[in-house]
């Protein structure tokens, strides 16, 4: 069974090399780059992976379907540029592909915040559906928070997928800004309504859910930082939706 790893990237020079190195066992590695200017494309080519390029940005779901269409393997593993496959997870992936009873598989994702693994606050085990037989799954067309759509039975692997989600606080602020903008655009397109009070309410609930309900306090001071970041992201998402409605 051949495995295709598919990745989308934009200015991921700090991440893409380690991501590609972690999946050297794959038969095919394809990166679709959206016009990086930081050397990402050179790193991809130096690794021996296949580089595809696009200029326009249709959103995360449509972009991932573009790179998925280039895969030729029997199985597909979808990764983000800031994710890493461990040797233990590699062994499970290879075993799953040998299984005659086909299924789609979720992976438990262990994310880090400014270099610290976060195991509470709803961050772990954060199961993500990423491994499936080619042709039997596709991505939703969501602009952000896309998901894999499949009619297959879904099973779970045990070993962690490592996620270097936020290397620095600057990357936290950048990602909160980018994702809240994309999410607000998606909600606006679907006719969702926002207001200043709704933005405050969602932000407050995001903090309570992350820090108290999901026991983020067990991660100490970094757990508090994560909860605040989550609250900001939710607040900005609905505030941007409200402001876009005013402009419209």
From first CA to last CA, the distance across the chain in angstroms is 51
Residue 100's pLDDT is 67
For 54-81, letters b (16+ CB in 10 Å) and e give: eeeeebbbbbbbbbbeebebebbbbbbb
Instruction: Give me the numbers of helices (H) and strands (E) for the chain, helices first please.
Output: 7, 12
Question: In this model, does residue 154 exceed pLDDT 70?
Answer: yes
Structural contact between residues 15 and 59, judged by C-beta atoms closer than 8 angstroms: no
Going by C-beta distance under 8 Å and a sequence separation of 6 or more, which residues neighbour residue 46? none
Residue 179's pLDDT is 86
> At 136, is the pLDDT very low, low, confident or very high (cuts 50, 70, 90)?
very high
Q: Which of 149-153, 215-219, 235-239, 242-246 is predicted with the least confidence, judged by mean pLDDT? A: 242-246
Q: Is the dihedral of CA 228, 192, 56, 66 positive or negative?
A: positive
Q: 79 forms bridges with which residues in the sheet?
A: 7
Query: Average pLDDT, stretch 195-215?
Result: 96
Model pLDDT for residues 73-94, shown as the tens digit of each residue: 999 999 999 999 999 999 999 9
Domains of the chain are 3-165 (3.90.550.10), 168-247 (no CATH)
Residue 248's pLDDT is 64
Residue 79's pLDDT is 98
Residue 52's pLDDT is 98
């Amino acid at each position: 069974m051949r495995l295709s790893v598919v990745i989308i990237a934009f200015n991921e020079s700090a991440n893409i090399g380690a991501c590609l190195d972690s999946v050297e066992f794959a038969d095919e590695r394809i990166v679709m780059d959206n016009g990086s200017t930081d050397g990402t494309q050179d790193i991809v080519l130096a690794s021996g992976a296949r580089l595809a390029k696009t200029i326009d940005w249709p959103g995360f779901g449509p972009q991932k379907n573009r790179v998925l269409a280039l895969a030729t393997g029997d199985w597909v593993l979808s990764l983000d540029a800031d994710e890493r496959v461990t040797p233990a997870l590699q062994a499970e992936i290879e075993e799953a592909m040998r299984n005659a009873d086909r299924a789609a598989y979720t992976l438990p994702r262990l994310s880090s915040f400014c270099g610290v693994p976060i195991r509470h606050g709803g961050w772990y085990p954060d199961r993500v559906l990423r491994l499936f037989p080619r042709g039997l799954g596709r991505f939703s067309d969501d602009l952000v928070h896309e998901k894999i759509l499949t009619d297959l039975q879904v099973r779970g692997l045990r070993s962690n997928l490592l996620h270097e989600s936020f290397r620095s606080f600057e990357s936290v602020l950048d990602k909160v800004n980018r994702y809240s903008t994309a999410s607000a655009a998606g909600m606006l397109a679907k006719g969702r309504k926002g207001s200043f009070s709704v933005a405050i309410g969602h932000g407050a609930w995001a903090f309570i859910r992350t820090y108290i309900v999901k026991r983020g306090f067990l991660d100490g001071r970094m757990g508090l930082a994560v909860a605040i970041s989550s609250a900001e992201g939710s607040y900005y998402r609905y505030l941007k939706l409200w402001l876009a409605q005013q402009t419209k």
